[in-house]
Homo-oligomer: A and B are copies of this chain.
Amino acid sequence: MKEFIEYILHFGQLNEQQIAFISERVKELELKKDEYFSEAGKIAQQVGFIVEGVVRVCYYNNKGEDITRYFFDENQLVVEMKSFESHMESSEYIQAVTDCKLIVISKSDWEAFSQSMPGWDNLVNKMIQKILLQKLEKRSPLIEQDATTRYLTFIDKFPQLANRIPLSHLASYLGITPSSLSRIRKNIQ
């Protein structure tokens, strides 16, 4: 909980009362490995904050392959952005990669915070912009480098993630086949 409040406070000021107001409305959520936090075709109903574990954002491409777009681990916000903001059906799944502990806030509470806290909208806007910029920075190296470099860049930037993620998910994230990633790992030793 402390981590969640700290995370929020990066994006704006809140007083004790406001922090208490938020804290009263959070719930805990445990997800077992492979369970979904949200699913494609549904409308996002909650915002999550990862206390423990790893989740991935994924979808099925037109060949039916399961493609991972992002990984998130501890102290990161998890929300199906497009669906949550626009109240439209999500096109992505959010799935637990490991057993997870999350803090969640329902969409209705989250939106009601606008009314009770004057600075909330601005804070949320900054938060969302930060998350979107981070997503862009995660994806860019995946286009502009060869497969080995992509892998090395990934383990350099997220060393704590690589060994918590099944090879198959990491391969689809990097845009290569599992066999290729396996070979790349062997060549690096």
Contact = CB atoms under 8 A, between A and B. Distances in A.
Interface of A: 61, 67, 69, 81-82, 85, 121-122, 125, 128-129, 132-133, 135-136, 139-140, 142-144, 175
Nearest to A149: B62
A-B pairs with the 5 shortest C-beta distances?
A132-B132, A125-B125, A142-B143, A143-B175, A139-B139
Given A67-B144, A121-B122, A133 B175 contact: no
A136 B135 contact: yes
- How many copies of this chain does one complex carry? 2
Task: Provide the main secondary structure of the chain A interface.
Answer: helix
21 contacts: A61-B144, A69-B140, A81-B133, A82-B133, A85-B129, A121-B122, A122-B125, A125-B125, A129-B132, A132-B132, A132-B133, A132-B136, A136-B136, A136-B139, A139-B139, A139-B140, A139-B143, A142-B143, A143-B143, A143-B175, A144-B175
Contacts of A67: 144
Contacts of A136: 132, 135-136, 139
